[in-house]
């Protein structure tokens, strides 16, 4: 039905949602490759000024919520047997690759304050590791299932709430992080302003988004995993992210372009979307535990193979992930 609705509409000439430049040209038409649960096709446009790639028309809130399967947020399988063993291995892997998030956090946390709020915390792996490094972790996620998993698996202070909610009303934090959140929002500027209201004076804002100016993105185009149509509504370049922060009154202190967790995996999943573990769970096509283990092993081997080229593109300044450390201008 979405496809019919789009087909009936004349070609729009949308303005960029980041810099308001009009008449963005068409970039691609794409479908939901990862899960296949969103019907129809979706139009993507590239801004001629800041070069961000955005979806137009935007889905309404109800349609957007339906694009996320329950399995989008990882939870540990605690049943006995091979499935439990595989889940434990995946948990160990997730914690290992999330350490670079914690190291980046430590580079940004130059002051004495250690209170941390992770918006879009998922099932809490990053917060769990940050707590082990002496931070005071707090989390928020739009998914009640993810928030419950973070509390159960890691005993974290996590509340359910969307950007703009009063989940942490009246609290202030030294550091607020949003890893792979902004690209999911129709108005990311409001998320920056929301985080700013929860930051202590002089506090740090840490952001991470896919980089559509990366080598990966240029090679794969609309089939790049980092676009994740239709869940990613706005996809950033360094220029677009800096523009967003500047308009919100923040200055960007540091940008890094490699993520051990995300860059190799984005390349691997772009090459073999059918092997992606999140995608396989979200499609609901679970095989016998032995077959699942073999698929996981194949995917892990592909990620290892992708590690070197993902690192090289990052060293060349064209990595698949943008990290930003921002503070209010003048702070």
pLDDT tens digits for 38-92? 999 999 999 999 999 999 999 998 999 999 988 787 666 556 565 656 667 777 8
> What is the arithmetic mean of pLDDT over 265-290?
86
pLDDT band at residue 8 under the 50/70/90 scheme: very low
Q: Looking at residue 282, what is its pLDDT?
A: 83
Q: Looking at residue 94, what is its pLDDT?
A: 84
Cis peptide before 71, with omega less than 30 degrees from 0?
Answer: no
Tell me: the pLDDT tens digits for 179-216?
999 999 999 999 999 999 999 999 999 999 999 999 99
Contact 124, 106 (CB under 8 A): no
* Domain final residue, candidates 66, 84, 100: 66
In the chain, how many domains are there? 2
Q: How far apart are CA 119 and CA 234, in angstroms?
A: 18
Assess whether pLDDT exceeds 60 at residue 7. no
CA proximity to 224, closest of 37, 46, 13:
46
Burial of 40 (0-12, 13-18, 19+ CB in 10 A): middle
Which CATH number goes with the domain that contains 310? 3.40.50.150
Tokens 């939901």 -> residue: 32
Same domain flag for 28 and 161 = no
Tell me: the pLDDT tens digits for 239-276?
999 999 999 999 988 788 899 999 999 999 999 999 99
Q: Looking at residue 6, what is its pLDDT?
A: 46
Assess whether pLDDT exceeds 50 at residue 127. yes
State which residues form the domain around 133: 70-328
Tell me the two tokens of residue 128.
Answer: 């769990």
Our CA angle for 59, 65, 67, nearest 5°, is: 80
Same domain flag for 182 and 54 = no
Q: Looking at residue 9, what is its pLDDT?
A: 53
Same domain flag for 59 and 84 = no
Tell me 218's DSSP state.
Answer: H
Tell me: the pLDDT tens digits for 164-177?
999 999 999 999 99
Same domain flag for 106 and 42 = no
Tokens 């202590």 -> residue: 200
Q: How far apart are CA 129 and CA 81, in angstroms?
A: 27
Q: Considering the chain, what is the average pLDDT of its residues?
A: 89
Q: Looking at residue 264, what is its pLDDT?
A: 96
């Amino acid at each position: 039905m979405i496809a019919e609705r789009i087909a009936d509409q004349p070609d729009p000439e949308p303005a960029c949602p980041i810099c308001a430049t009009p008449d963005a040209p068409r970039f691609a038409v794409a479908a939901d490759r990862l899960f296949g649960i969103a019907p129809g096709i979706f139009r993507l446009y590239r801004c001629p000024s800041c070069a961000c790639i955005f979806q137009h028309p935007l889905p309404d809130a109800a349609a957007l919520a339906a694009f996320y399967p329950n399995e989008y947020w990882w939870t540990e399988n605690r049943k006995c047997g091979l499935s439990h063993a595989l889940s434990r291995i995946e948990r160990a892997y997730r914690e290992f690759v999330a350490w670079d998030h914690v190291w980046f956090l430590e580079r940004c946390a130059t002051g004495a304050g250690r209170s941390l709020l992770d918006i879009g915390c998922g099932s809490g792996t990053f917060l769990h590791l940050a707590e082990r490094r002496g931070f005071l972790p707090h989390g928020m996620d739009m998914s009640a299932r993810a928030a419950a998993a973070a509390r159960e698996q890691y005993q974290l202070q996590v509340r359910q709430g969307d950007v703009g909610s009063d989940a942490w009303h009246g609290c202030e934090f030294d550091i607020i992080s949003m890893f792979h959140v902004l690209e999911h929002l129709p108005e990311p500027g409001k998320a920056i302003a929301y985080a700013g209201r929860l930051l202590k004076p002089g506090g740090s804002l840490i952001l991470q988004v896919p980089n559509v100016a990366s080598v990966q993105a240029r090679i794969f185009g609309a089939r790049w995993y980092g676009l994740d149509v239709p869940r990613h509504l706005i996809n950033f370049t360094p220029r677009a992210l800096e523009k967003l922060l500047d308009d919100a009154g923040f200055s960007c202190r540091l940008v890094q372009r490699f993520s051990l967790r995300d860059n190799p995996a984005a390349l691997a999943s772009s090459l073999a979307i059918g092997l992606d573990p999140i995608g396989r769970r979200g499609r609901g096509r679970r095989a016998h535990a032995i077959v699942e283990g073999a698929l996981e092993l194949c995917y892990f081997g592909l990620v290892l193979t992708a590690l070197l080229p993902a690192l090289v593109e990052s060293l060349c300044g064209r990595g698949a992930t943008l990290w930003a450390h921002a503070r209010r201008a003048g702070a």
